[in-house]
Chains A and B, each alone.
Chain A
Amino acid sequence: MVSTELQVILLVLSIIGLVWLIRCLKNQSLEVKYTVLWFALGVLFVILALFPNVLLILSQFVHIQVPANMLFLVGFFVLICISFMLTLFISKTAANVRRLNQEIAILQGELNKYHSRNEEK
Chain B
Amino acid sequence: MIFLKKIIIIPAYNEAENIETVLGELESYLDFDIVVVNDCSTDETAKICESYKRNNPRISLLNLPFNLGIGGAVQTGYIYAKRNNYDIAVQMDGDGQHDPQNLSDIVEPIIQNQADMVIGSRFIQKSGFQSTRMRKVGIGFFSRMIKVLWGDGYGGGYIRDTTSGFRAVGKRGIMLFSDYYPADYPEPETNALMMRLGYRVCEVPVTMRSRKYGRSSIGIINSAWYMIKVTIAILIDALRDSRGDVHGKH
Q: Is the CB of A33 within 8 A of B184?
A: yes
- Interface size range on B against A: 10 to 19
Q: B36-57: contact bitstring with A at CB < 8 Å (1 yes, 0 no)?
A: 0000000000000000000000
Tell me the nearest residue of chain A to B239, going by C-beta: A26
Contact of B233 among A26, A32, A100, A102 (CB under 8 A): A32
Q: Considering the complex, which residues of chain A in the window 94-118 have a beta carbon less than 8 Å from any beta carbon of chain B?
A: 95-96, 99-100, 102-103
With an 8 A cutoff between CB atoms, is A25 at the interface? yes
Given contact pairs A32-B229, A32-B233, A33-B184, A26 touches B65 in the complex (Cβ within 8 A): no
CA distance A102 to B66 in the complex (A): 11
CB within 8 Å of B: which of A17-41?
A: 22, 25-28, 31-33
B contact residues around A96 at 8 Å (CB): 65-66
Give how many A-B residue pairs fall within 8 Å (CB-CB): 31
Q: Given the complex, which residues of A lie within 8 Å of B249, measured CB to CB?
A: 27
Contact of B65 with A99 in the complex, beta carbons under 8 Å: yes
Flag if B236 contacts A100 (CB, 8 Å).
Answer: no
- Residues of chain A within 8 A of B184, CB atoms compared: 33
Question: In the complex, how many angstroms separate the beta carbon of A102 from the nearest chain B beta carbon?
Answer: 8
Interface of chain A residues 25 through 70 with chain B (CB within 8 A): 25-28, 31-33
Residues of B within 8 A of A28 (CB): 180, 246-247
Tell whether B248 is near chain A: CB-to-CB under 8 Å.
yes
A36 to B66, CA, bound (A): 25
Which residues of chain A come closer than 8 Å to B232, judged between CB atoms?
Answer: 32
**Inter-chain contact A26/B248, CB cutoff 8 Å:** yes
Q: Are B65 and A100 in contact (CB under 8 A)?
A: yes
- Please judge, given known A-B contacts A32-B229, A32-B232, whether A22 and B239 are in contact too, CB under 8 Å: yes
Q: A26-B248, A27-B247, A27-B248 in contact; A32/B236 too (CB < 8 A)?
A: yes
8 additional A-B pairs beyond A26-B236, A33-B229, beta carbons within 8 Å, are A22-B236, A27-B247, A27-B248, A32-B229, A33-B184, A96-B65, A96-B66, A103-B65
Q: Which 8 A-B pairs have the closest CB atoms?
A: A103-B65, A99-B66, A96-B66, A99-B65, A25-B236, A26-B239, A28-B247, A100-B65
Residues of B within 8 A of A (CB): 65-66, 180, 183-184, 229, 232-233, 236, 239-240, 246-249
Give A residues with C-beta under 8 Å from B: 22, 25-28, 31-33, 95-96, 99-100, 102-103
Q: List 28 A-B contacts (CB under 8 A).
A: A22-B236, A22-B239, A25-B236, A25-B239, A26-B236, A26-B239, A26-B240, A26-B247, A26-B248, A27-B247, A27-B248, A27-B249, A28-B180, A28-B246, A28-B247, A31-B183, A32-B229, A32-B232, A32-B233, A32-B236, A33-B184, A33-B229, A95-B66, A96-B65, A99-B66, A100-B65, A100-B66, A103-B65
